[in-house]
Amino acid sequence: MRKYPLVIVSMVLACSLAFNVGCQKHSVFEPIVDSGSGTEQIESNDYDSIDCSSSKIKASSYVSGCEPYKAFDGNTATYWQSQNSSPQWINVDLGKVMDFNQIKIFWGSSFARKFTINVSSDGVSWTTVHSGAATKYGWQVITLSATMKWARFIGVYCYDRSASWGNQIIEVKILNASYYSYYTDASGLKIVTNPSDISALVNKDRNLSSSYAPSDLVVPNVPFLVAEYMEKKNVRKEAALALEKLFAGAAANGYSLLAVSGYRSYATQTYLFNQNVLKYGSEEAANKVSARPGQSEHQTGLAMDISCMSQGGYLTEAFGETPEGKWLAENAHNYGFIIRFPLGKESITGYNYEPWHIRYVGVDHAKAVKTAGLTLEEYLYRIALK
């Protein structure tokens, strides 16, 4: 049995600080891996660990120095950085459930012929979200098998290693989390860097780039208020399929819905906002009912405004009191949609009550938002990232 020491280092998540932490040497047996079956066999008789904080890193070999948390710039969190030797496998406890869809690994000179990335919410039940080979010495960005992953634990395991065991995992980062994935532009605006993620948060504090447009816009097969083709008939493909199911579900229960307005480009939103400024007399007043360009969910292609014939297709608060509006509020989550701007949450969303505006977030998240009675902001801040 070969012995390889263990490193457990504390990780501190903060948006503006960076730390250099010296790592202490501890001991653990590395899992013995059968490269054919991928089965791990672990023996341990001298297992030392120090819980330095709420978070831990376990690895198959020690380093004489490390930076468990190097930087946090709103887009990427660094959870492991070796200064000298590096491990063959590493387990990272993020300390809380995080939302991410990519992992970035820096491979050493003797990289793995095969490796897997595994995630877990409890450290007991694990799901393999990627299996592949290290590309070369240096950085490799891995997009996970699902659009996004919510997990607290990440395990990276190297199999079928090259003849020289050498360095393997030098650095590990997670990136593209919907809550904190952004950069700040020259004017001080926060620009969302993962707008195609269905959990991406767009609001008055988090902007879409003026150049962003979804690549998979389609017109869903549902009844629209207007017959002719218009830009606003489009939504993203995944949202379109869900919208068709929602309309079919409404019809099966005797309710006839009308789709009014979906995707809007940055240019279209600019025009509409300027029109509302003229209508309401000021930008501040207009911004209670209309998003500034770059701050509209409609630009994501994941939102649709809904009405019904009894309302003449108009978008008013009265829709929420119609049988169709009540059905939508009580059932949208079953199809992956939420009422984005609910009544009583104006101080959180920044917008007046809009019973007609639904946003696609996927069934799991929509059900969680509905059950908790929260806005998307509250859900992402308080539930998913607690």
Helix (H, G, I), strand (E, B) or coil at 81: strand
Same domain, yes or no: 74 and 212: no
Residue 13: predicted pLDDT: 26
Q: Residue 204 above 60 pLDDT?
A: yes
Choose the final residue of a domain: 175, 198, 233: 175
Same domain, yes or no: 379 and 242: yes
User: The domain that contains 103 carries what CATH number?
Assistant: 2.60.120.260
Same domain, yes or no: 159 and 271: no
For residues 268 and 127, the model is more confident at 268
Taking phi over 0 as left and psi of -120 to 50 as alpha, with beta for the rest, 275 belongs to alpha
Beta bridge partners of 156: 90, 117
Same domain, yes or no: 117 and 45: yes
- The letter for the amino acid at 134 is A
Same domain, yes or no: 226 and 261: yes
CB 116 within 8 A of CB 128: yes
Choose the final residue of a domain: 156, 175, 194: 175
Place of tokens 């939508």: 328
Same domain, yes or no: 280 and 364: yes
Same domain, yes or no: 20 and 144: yes
Residue 10: predicted pLDDT: 28
How many structural domains compose the chain? Answer: 2
User: The domain that contains 187 carries what CATH number?
Assistant: 3.30.1380.10
Same domain, yes or no: 162 and 192: no
Residue 100 to residue 96: CA distance in whole angstroms: 12
Same domain, yes or no: 82 and 199: no
Same domain, yes or no: 33 and 129: yes
CB 49 within 8 A of CB 8: yes
Same domain, yes or no: 290 and 335: yes
| Residue range 318-327: mean pLDDT, rounded | 96
pLDDT band of residue 351 (cuts 50, 70, 90) is: very high
pLDDT band of residue 52 (cuts 50, 70, 90) is: very low
Closest CA to 144 of 136, 154, 152, 135: 154
Choose the final residue of a domain: 118, 151, 175: 175
Same domain, yes or no: 157 and 192: no
Cα 50 from chain centre: 31
Residue 171 annotated to the active site? no
Quote the domain boundaries for residue 81.
3-175
Residues 232-254: tens digit of each pLDDT: 999 999 999 999 999 999 999 99
> Residue 128 has which token pair?
């393999």
Residue 146: predicted pLDDT: 55
Task: Please tell me which residue in 244, 324, 354, 378 is annotated as part of the active site.
Answer: 354
